[in-house]
Structure formats: structure tokens, C-alpha cells
Structure 1
Amino acid sequence: MDDGRHGAVRNGNDAPAADEERQVCGATSELPLTLALAAVHITEEDQDALDLIDPTLRCTLGPHRGRHRDLVLDTDGEDSAVWTSWRNGELPTSVEILKNCGASNGLAAGSDDVCTHYSGHPDEHSWALFDPVLAYIDEHMPGALLRAAAPFLLSQLVCSNPRRPPDAEPRGARSDLSRRPAPDDDPVVPG
């Protein structure tokens, strides 16, 4: 099942040629714990909502210039969500509630898809973008394992990101994903 967030790893600065498939930007960063707490606060959610927030950020917009964006926390039953933004090589410094785009691809029920970006986003809708990283994971992992392992796998992209600022905020135990497991370690998948 396509969740509309599939799209390619790009640095966000160069657009594809006209005959290339449109791919997501894919720029990565990490969400500081203070912003995760702020997201819960501005939505007036229970503290348990922190468990729903993945500190690994990945820009799902199409190729673009400027600030990258990722969804931080979906607000159940609302037509909005909490988003953050950042520049290349920087951590985000704020979160904000943005109205959902909600545009539909217009296909028949079962094949339809709604854009998972925010209202007024630049470029293509989420369902029109391709993400080779997530496509590879979808193709090579069973669905249940994928849902459990996706946050961990995406965090490895951030941890291996050479553009991560060396003076980035230290990560707490919950979001410390910088140590890759040794071959004999049991991988720990966030729940």
C-alpha cells in the first residue's frame, strides 16, 4: 500500500531533467527533544504522543530550494498537523501547525491517494513523487516488519549523514540512534 510519502534521495538543490521521474528531496536532519515536547504541547496531546514522534526527519517535498520540511505529529481528527523545517546542515528550530493539503489524485476508490503534505506546499503532491529508499524497503521487507523497522532504518540515513552538524544537540537515550549495532548485537527497533 502506498502511503503517499514515497519519493528519491536528493540534496534539495537541483531539479530533475524533464524526462526524469519526480523524486522527493530526501534531505535529513534530527528533531531536538525540545521541539518534540513543543509539538505535543501545541497540539494539547497527552505526553504519550511523544512515542508517536520520530526524531529522524526526512524532507518529503519534491526537489526544491530553501528550507526542508517534514511532518512531526499528525493531529488525529483534525485537518492539520505539526511540521518542522530546517536548512541543509542545520537542526530545526521550531514547529508549527499547518493545514493539510488533502488534494486527491482522483483515482477510483482503492487506488485513490490523498497528498500528505501541508496546504500550499511547493511542487508536486506527495502521491506524484517517487522515493527509491522507501521503494527499496517496501520491495525487500514484509509489511509488518517494515512498519516496525522503518523509523530505525531511516534513522541510519541521518546517522550516516556527513552534513550533520558536529555541534548538534546531544541526543537523549530515547533518540540516541548514532551507534550502529555491531554484527553480533541484537538490533533494537523503536516501538
Structure 2
Amino acid sequence: MKLLKFFVILTLVLVCTNLVAPSSFADSNYDPNKTSSVSESVKLTPEEIEVLKANATVENDFVSEPQSQLDRVTLSDVNTFDYSFSQLGSQREVKSYGTIDTSAKTDVYCTLTQKTALSNYSAYVMYLLENTETGKRTPGKPVRGNVSETVGWSDVLPGNYRLVIVNMGEHETEGSGFVRAY
């Protein structure tokens, strides 16, 4: 018992005197200087905006499953990350730092909230998935309005993907949400 007390006190002394840094117990990917879950925004050319519009899918591929099927999803079946962005200027894009991995054709959903910085304007944002290895992008999912909703992509090919968020509107936009693959 005395030996256990000794090791507990020794550990506390080492941590309190910074001989053993508390960060040695933290996530190795943690960066205290990174205050955002998305990259710096990048200005898009008018040609890039037109390509996004032409390749966008207007319909939402999200299909609700019967409750009985949803009950079978376990935590180990879920691959997810969350994101947030603010002050995203007109015709600018950001990319999430978070990624999802898929090993087979998978459905991917993005549950989002978006709005303009000024409530009397309406947001217009395009959401895409980008393969981190090839740079190829899925067709965009345009979302109009200061809304909360879910968009989805069906049968996403195997790979590692990040979310790309493009402000297609004329006013600064902010938002948050999460991306999940099943």
C-alpha cells in the first residue's frame, strides 16, 4: 500500500513540476495552434464556379431507412467527423481537416447547419467530397437558405475523403455539422 502511494505521489510531482509534460498523454495529432476544423479559404475563379454549378446534383440522394434497419447500426459501423466554419467569403472554399475512410462503396451523409452572417440574407453553399489521394471530387450538393438539413452521396468509392465547402452566394456564410459514412 505504501508503494502504491509512493508511485501516485511521484507521478503527481513529475506532472506538476513539468518533468513529464501533460501533453505526452494527449492525442499525437493535436495541434494547439490550430483553432479551426477547416482550412484557410481559397478564392475560386469564375470558371471553377461554373464547373461546380454544371456538375452539381440538385436532388438529394439521402434516403431514410426504416427504423428496423437503423437499429442494426453499431458504433463500430460509423465513420464520422465534425466541422465548423465562419466568415467564408463569396465564391471561396474551405476543406475539412477531418476525413472519413471507406473500404467499399459506401453512403456518406453530411448533416449541416448554415446561415449568412447577416440574418436578412440567405446562404447558398455547395458541399462536395474530395478524395485526399486523387483530388477527385463528387458532384456538389447545393444547399440554399439559412437552414439545417442532411445531404448525401450514394455508393461513394473506396478511399479517404474530406468535405469541401464552397460559398456560392454573395454574402459571408458560417456553419457547422458532421459527416458520417455507413
User: Could you say which TM-score interval applies, normalised by the shorter chain?
Assistant: under 0.3
| Structure with greater proportional helix content | 1
Which structure carries more relative contact order (alpha carbon 8 Å, separation 6+)?
2
| Larger gyration radius, structure 1 or structure 2 | 2
| Structure with greater proportional strand content | 2
TM-score using structure 1 length: 0.25
TM-score using structure 2 length: 0.26
